[in-house]
């Protein structure tokens, strides 16, 4: 079976979260969105909550079930022995409205948190559940467009300047100078809602006024405050996540640039489209800009309270493949760019998923299968394959790095 059928076409799952756009993902994957639903994410993986489907077997098969039936052959022996599953989840995101401020736990802390919530009898789908699995969730994202995100705390000097320059936040300056990052963040996250409203209402009104006067741009926190509230808001329940917009780095990535986010780094996607690859987990601790569950105690326990200098991932070029190095064993990602008639050959060490982002290609020696933009390929471990581009073609490849 595996010799003759080692390469499959797979179809992912569209996630209709409210913050997603209506057009980008449907156009990318040729998905009929006549109902005009928000299409936030497209999952290509084996996560049990939304596994991809193999569409080129005689009977359609869910990828997670296919892996469970043939784990060593599909994943590769070393990947199976280490992870017991496909250790990554591959996604496309279309961020129209900003996501919640969030932190991901380390693997050790995820295991402890999961066991504690299991022992406490909190249902896995309960709204107050923090840990959906025992895994960490490091992630790398590659911009498909201009992309904006929050990533880690600003330097102490930058925070002091911000707290000095923004009148409504002046009261936080002495506390930050005296007690630093953690105490300030704990103070604003535990502040009574009435006090949050008193501080933030004039700030929000000023941001809306400045945006109307074209006095703001996307490098400024006020621009994002205005975007969040320009369609109206509840003056008695202002989201305390607004504080984080002034304390965190606002990062702009151009198409093709990537950033890695490890355990403990607070972050939030603000706007744009990207490719995202992460450990196979759904563990998120939230800190605002969301109606979802916020557990301040748990959030504080796992947040990295130190300045972070955002770093664009330095790529390595090998032939027509550009590799984005990631400091984890769970996943690796690269982009392959081919012109008409050019070939790309590889030998897999794990299950690989390839997503065609532009153009079209033929997979040689496997019935000359043809794939076009928006389609995805799964190749099982220990397989040689060769791709030939029919025109200018861009492919994103997710894999597990070879283990030594």
Q: Which residues are catalytic?
A: 286
Task: For Cα atoms 50, 39, 393, give the angle at the middle one, nearest 5 degrees.
Answer: 85
CA 105, CA 303: separation in Å to the nearest integer? 8
SS (H, E, C) the chain: CCCCCCEEEEECEEECCCCEECCHHHHHHCCCCCCCCCECEEEEECCCCCCCEECCCCCCEEHHHHHHHCHHHHHCHHHHHHHCCCCEEEEEEEECCCCCEEECCCHHHHHHHHHHHHHCCCCCCCCCCCCCCCCCCCEEEEECCCEEEEEEECCHHHHHHHHHHCHHHHHHHHHHHHHHHHHHHHHHHHCCHHHHHHHHHHHHHHHHHHHHCCCCCCCCHHHHHHHHHCCCCCCCCCCCCHHHHHHEEEEEECCCCEEEECCCCCEEEEEEEEEEEEECCCCCEEEECCCCCCCHHHHHHHCCCCECCCCCCCCEEECCEEEECCCCCCCEEEEEEECCCCEEEEECCCCEEEEEEECEEEECCCCCEEEECCCEEEECCCCEEEEEECCCEEEEEEECCCCC
Provide the 10 A C-beta neighbour count for residue 166. Answer: 17
CA–CA distance, 263 with 282 (Å, rounded to integer): 13
Residue with tokens 């996501």: 99
Q: What is the dihedral of CA 378, 106, 269, 157, to 10 degrees?
A: -140
**Which tokens sit at 168?**
């409504």
Phi, psi of 304 (to 5 degrees): -85, 105
């Amino acid at each position: 079976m595996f010799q003759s059928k080692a390469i499959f076409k797979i179809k992912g799952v569209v996630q209709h979260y409210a913050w997603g756009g209506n057009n980008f993902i449907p156009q990318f994957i040729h998905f009929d969105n006549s109902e005009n639903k928000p299409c936030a994410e497209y999952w290509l993986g084996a996560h049990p909550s939304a596994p991809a489907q193999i569409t080129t077997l005689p009977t359609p098969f869910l990828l997670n079930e296919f892996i469970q039936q043939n784990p060593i052959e599909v994943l590769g022996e070393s990947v199976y022995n280490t992870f017991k599953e496909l250790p990554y989840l591959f996604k496309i995101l279309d961020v129209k409205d900003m996501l919640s401020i969030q932190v991901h736990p380390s693997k050790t802390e995820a295991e402890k948190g999961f066991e504690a919530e299991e022992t406490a009898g909190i249902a896995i789908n309960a709204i107050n559940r923090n840990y959906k699995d025992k895994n960490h969730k490091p992630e790398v994202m590659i911009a498909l467009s201009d992309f904006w995100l929050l990533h880690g705390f600003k330097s102490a000097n930058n925070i002091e300047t911000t707290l000095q320059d923004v009148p409504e936040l002046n009261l936080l300056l002495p506390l930050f100078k005296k007690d630093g990052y953690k105490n300030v963040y704990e103070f604003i996250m535990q502040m009574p809602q009435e006090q949050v409203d008193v501080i933030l209402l004039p700030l929000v009104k000023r941001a809306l006024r400045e945006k109307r006067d074209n006095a703001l741009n996307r490098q400024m926190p006020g621009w994002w405050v205005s975007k969040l509230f320009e369609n109206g808001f509840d003056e008695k329940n202002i989201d305390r996540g607004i504080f984080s917009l002034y304390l965190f780095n606002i990062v702009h990535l151009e198409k093709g640039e990537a950033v890695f986010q490890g355990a403990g780094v607070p972050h939030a996607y603000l706007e744009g489209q990207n490719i995202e690859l992460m450990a196979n987990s759904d563990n998120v601790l939230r800190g605002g800009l969301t109606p979802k569950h916020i557990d301040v105690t748990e959030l504080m326990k796992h947040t990295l309270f130190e300045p972070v200098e955002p770093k664009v991932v330095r790529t390595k070029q090998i032939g027509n493949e550009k590799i984005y190095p990631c400091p984890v064993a769970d996943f690796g990602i690269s982009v392959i760019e081919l012109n008409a008639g050019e070939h790309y050959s590889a030998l897999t060490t794990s299950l690989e998923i390839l997503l065609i982002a532009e153009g079209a290609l033929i997979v040689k020696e496997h019935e000359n299968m043809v794939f076009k933009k928006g389609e995805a390929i799964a190749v099982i471990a220990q397989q040689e394959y060769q791709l030939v581009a029919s025109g200018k073609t861009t492919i994103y490849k997710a894999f597990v790095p070879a283990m030594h």
